[in-house]
């Protein structure tokens, strides 16, 4: 599986990318969600894993922008915050899944 990881937290981004690669996936990562969006190409990744809360462009905005050019793109939003409302909002907005 080809996975794009977008997270402004360097430690978590690198950890997630390493774990995914150890499980046989091809993972690329980007710290800046605006840069990730500018480099996004429909069909290039099977799934996008994105942090929900990032400066400049949050995970919801990133997902909505991706869905404008690739409506079927799987996007899973992630957060370390314990707020059930975030997950509900993410799923209602079109996330394939939400991990807390």
Q: What is the 3-state secondary structure (H, E, C) of the chain?
A: CEEEEECCCHHHHHHHHHHHHHCCCEEEEECCHHHHHHHCCCCCCCEEEEECCCCCCCHHHHHHHHHHHCCCCEEEEECCCCCHHHHHHHHHCCCCEEEC
The model scores a pTM over 0.85: yes
60 - beta bridge partners?
none
Q: How would you write the pLDDT of the chain (100 residues) with one tens digit per residue? A: 999 999 999 999 999 999 999 999 999 999 999 999 998 999 999 999 999 999 989 999 999 999 999 999 999 999 887 777 777 778 888 899 888 8
């Amino acid at each position: 599986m080809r996975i794009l990881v977008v997270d402004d937290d360097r430690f978590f981004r690198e950890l997630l990318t390493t774990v995914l690669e150890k499980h046989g996936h091809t993972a690329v990562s980007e710290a800046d969600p605006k840069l990730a969006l500018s480099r996004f190409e429909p069909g290039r990744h099977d799934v996008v894993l994105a942090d929900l809360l990032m400066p400049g462009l949050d995970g919801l905005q990133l997902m909505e922008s991706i869905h404008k050019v690739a409506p079927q793109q799987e996007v899973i939003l992630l957060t370390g915050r314990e707020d059930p409302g975030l997950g509900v909002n993410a799923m209602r907005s079109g996330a394939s899944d939400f991990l807390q």
